[in-house]
Amino acid sequence: HKWFCGAKGTALLHVGEEAQEWLEPLVISHGYGSDLPSGFYWPGLADWSSFLALDEAMAFWDLVGIEPARTYCNYVVRDAAVLLADGWGTELGIPEELLSTMALVQLPEFAALKGELNYEAAEMVQNALYAEKIEVPVKALSGKLYVRISAHIYNHIEEYETLRDVVLQLQKSDSL
């Protein structure tokens, strides 16, 4: 639902003819065995009201266009990743030319973190960012901490500037 801009719990699955013979639902429906769509209908108790918004989500993408949106998201992530790495004096997790709608950016060292930079350290930083109303995954990889940023059409560069600035403030703090 997230990347499609649909209501939570909704999705649209397009299945090519070559896969329709072997694709099966994880939870079967009372229509299982008759045809592909019927096997997916009514899998137990479900609230179907969110699916009523799928037409609007599809109309939105027809209006915006997939390629312009993808291009915008790619540029936002690249600009944001470079902005963060430059602002923190760190590096990207992969070369800039390989970035798409997500990126890993190494975090700077934090005064409050002593010892190994592991899962617990990543969680401490992530929780400190969340307390500042910033939700971004923090990962520990090979003894370094990284943020995993992403972008969608509703994101803008100022949000990543805020992330940069809050990390710089937290970096100097004696506690997270």
Q: Which residue type occupies 21?
A: E
| Residue 141 φ then ψ, to 5° | -135, 120
Cα–Cα distance measured from residue 104 to residue 126, given in angstroms and rounded to the nearest whole number: 14
- Reduced 3-state DSSP string for 63-131: HHCHHHHHHHHHHHHHHHHHHHHHHHCCCECCCHHHCCCEEEEECCCCCCCCCCCCHHHHHHHHHHHHH
- Say what the pLDDT of residue 40 is: 77
pLDDT in tens, 40-68: 776 666 777 888 888 888 899 999 999 99
pLDDT in tens, 12-48: 788 899 998 898 888 877 778 888 888 877 666 677 7
pTM higher than 0.85 for the full model?
no
- Residue whose pair of structure tokens reads 């990126």 in the numeric block: 103
- Say what the pLDDT of residue 79 is: 97
